[in-house]
Chains A and B, each alone.
Chain A
Amino acid sequence: DAMVIQNPRYQVTQFGKPVTLSCSQTLNHNVMYWYQQKSSQAPKLLFHYYDKDFNNEADTPDNFQSRRPNTSFCFLDIRSPGLGDAAMYLCATSIPREGQETQYFGPGTRLLVL
């Protein structure tokens, strides 16, 4: 059973053309994260939501925005993609719980910028 779903798995966009990546979850988790991961690098946290509270990382470019209209869905909007934004984008969820912590990752969306 899919728990964290990301669509599409592969996304091709043009330089400067806005693109939206989607994530949905069936786990009813409070926290949702968006990570950017480039080849052979660690996932880099872009932002996360604790319920509706939005937390932006200090070094996340303004070009990246996010929306969480409800518990199940979260979107990553890239307003003007540059060549350097080509990467894997990972969505993850978690439910903060003392003594236990697991992040559930979606399969990722690989973004190609032409």
Chain B
Amino acid sequence: GQSLEQPSEVTAVEGAIVQINCTYQTSGFYGLSWYQQHDGGAPTFLSYNALDGLEETGRFSSFLSRSDSYGYLLLQELQMKDSASYFCAVRDLLGRDDKIIFGKGTRLHILP
């Protein structure tokens, strides 16, 4: 089966750095994505890792270790607007059955 584990909530201080971890178990792993979702809004894409290592996009970075079935999202210089839910998602590709499976999400609370 497929499963993803991530913390349900994380709290950090404005200006600080926070890391949100994700472990996964899939049958046809093809990549790990991260999405941000504000209350009442739709998920928006943040990053994607197909290969091991670190991908950096501005204040956000994402890391993947396929051998450990593990990844994380790193948010730097936290701003109040970063308060949102963050979902890791795996692309599960078996033949033509291509789909994205989402974790349960991590609610990020930012304190001033």
Contact = CB atoms under 8 A, between A and B. Distances in A.
B91 A43 contact: no
Nearest to A35: B102
Contacts of A44: 102
Interface stretch (A14-22, A62-70, A77-85, A96-104): A96-104
B101 interface: yes
Contacts of A103: 33, 35, 43, 45, 89, 100
B42 A105 contact: yes
A107 B44 CA distance: 10
Interface of A: 31, 33, 35, 40-45, 48, 50, 53, 55, 90, 92, 94, 96, 98-108
A33 B100 contact: yes
A45 B90 CA distance: 12
A100 B50 contact: yes
* Prevailing SS type, chain B contact patch: strand
Interface string B39-65: 001111100101100000000000000
Interface of B: 30-31, 33, 35, 41-45, 48, 50-51, 87, 89, 91, 93, 96-105, 107
B91 A101 contact: yes
Nearest to A105: B42
B45 A102 contact: yes
B46 to A, nearest CB: 10
A85 B41 CA distance: 19
Contacts of A99: 50-51
A105 B100 CA distance: 12
Contacts of A98: 50
A17 to B, nearest CB: 25
Contacts of B41: 107-108
Given A45-B101, A106-B42, 10 more contacts: A33-B99, A40-B107, A43-B43, A45-B102, A53-B96, A55-B99, A90-B42, A92-B43, A101-B91, A102-B45
